[in-house]
Amino acid sequence: MKSRVAVIGAGDSALTCAVLLAQHGYQTAILADEIGDETNSAAAAAIWYPYDVGASDQIIAWALTSYDRFIELARDAQTGVSVTELRVFSRLGPITPPDWAQLFATRAVPDSEIPAAFVSGFTIRVPLIETGKYLDYLTTRFTNAGGSRNGGIRFTRLEEVNAGFDLIVDCAGIGARELVPDPEMEPHRGQVAIVEKFDLPYAVVCDDPPLMYVIPRSNDCVFGGTNEISDKRTADPQTTVLIITECERVLGRKAPALLRERVGLRPGRRTGVRIEAEKLRDGRTVIHNYGHGGSGFTLSWGCAEIALSYL
Ligand SMILES: Cc1cc2nc3c(=O)[nH]c(=O)nc-3n(C[C@H](O)[C@H](O)[C@H](O)COP(=O)(O)OP(=O)(O)OC[C@H]3O[C@@H](n4cnc5c(N)ncnc54)[C@H](O)[C@@H]3O)c2cc1C
């Protein structure tokens, strides 16, 4: 008989693993503290693009696997996934696409289209994953495959998971810092301002300080952002003003009305993403899948497939 599996977490990493487990016939339950809109995953916009997680060959391989899965998902509008043009700019000097981007048809942004705040840029077509809709889609796909999702459950140790589960998949994100415990974890706090939808046919990002991005979605637009080491989950109104001011400066227009401020903690891990199996003291196996930094969506399918290969 196939194992009964408990997946700890209900963010993007957990849901992606849980979908694959349930579809492979495992009796799978999601057990998590926060679910849905409460998760850090729901605070992301999100764009497929490796960021804040390193760029090793392994990271790029996981990202490219996920890219293929998102392109398949983008065929169905119900998934919340589409394909968009991303314009990556630099404030500092000439920008060249990263090595992995040679696989894509990138091109330089013509001088006439470079906002005054920047000196160079390139464009690339990438998946846009509208997180609210997409997390709902994954949840429905998981429950339709027989899985169950339970929120409001906080574990202090992995061994606390009910003995009826013979396998545990740990997708606790930044929560792994206390749960495992893993001292390599650090919270990379991100604050964004969600504004009303306006007419912009591409997303804009600049990673030179101050980090800024504008990501138009089907019903709104995400202005970003910040990335600092902090556990603070509440929005700082002054930071929102700074984010909006910088986006206005780059776009050369007044921002539409502010709809919502959001904060999420990117699960940074100093020694890189952790995907590995380990034996707990009670003899059960736990498969860890956490520490995806600013690229949880970008890596999700590649990492989930590797995590499941440990079964
Ligand atoms: C502002 C912002 C913008 C971003 N933009 C992008 C982007 O454009 N593209 C991209 O790829 N990524 C982006 N990211 C990063 C991405 O959101 C994260 O890497 C991803 O959400 C991590 O997902 P996760 O499922 O591992 O963790 P989380 O979403 O944090 O989920 C962790 C889950 O584990 C549960 N949990 C934790 N501890 C316990 C415990 N002890 N007991 C029970 N349950 C527990 C939590 O309640 C939660 O359900 C962004 C992040 C932020 C904050």
Which pLDDT tens digits describe the chain residue by residue (311 residues)?
A: 678 999 999 999 999 999 999 999 999 999 999 999 999 999 999 999 999 999 899 999 999 999 999 999 999 999 999 999 999 999 999 999 999 998 999 999 999 999 999 999 999 999 999 999 999 999 999 999 999 999 999 999 999 999 999 999 999 999 999 999 999 999 999 999 999 999 999 999 999 999 999 999 999 999 999 999 999 999 999 999 999 999 999 999 999 999 999 999 999 999 999 999 999 999 999 999 999 999 999 999 999 999 999 99
175 ligand 1 Cβ < 6 A: yes
What is the pLDDT at residue 2?
74
What is the pLDDT at residue 67?
98
14 ligand 1 Cβ < 6 A: yes
Q: Which two tokens stand for residue 40?
A: 């850090």
267 ligand 1 Cβ < 6 A: yes
- Any residues with CB less than 8 A from the CB of 8 and at least 6 apart, and which? 14, 31, 32, 155, 158, 161, 168, 169, 170, 171, 172, 179
Q: Which of 131, 297, 303 to mutate to test the pocket of ligand 1 (most atoms within 8 A of CB)?
A: 297
Please state, in angstroms and rounded to a whole number, the distance separating the CA atoms of residues 39 and 136.
12
pTM score of the predicted model: 0.98
What is the pLDDT at residue 3?
84
What is the pLDDT at residue 1?
66
Q: What is the rounded radius of gyration, in angstroms, for the C-alpha atoms of the chain?
A: 19
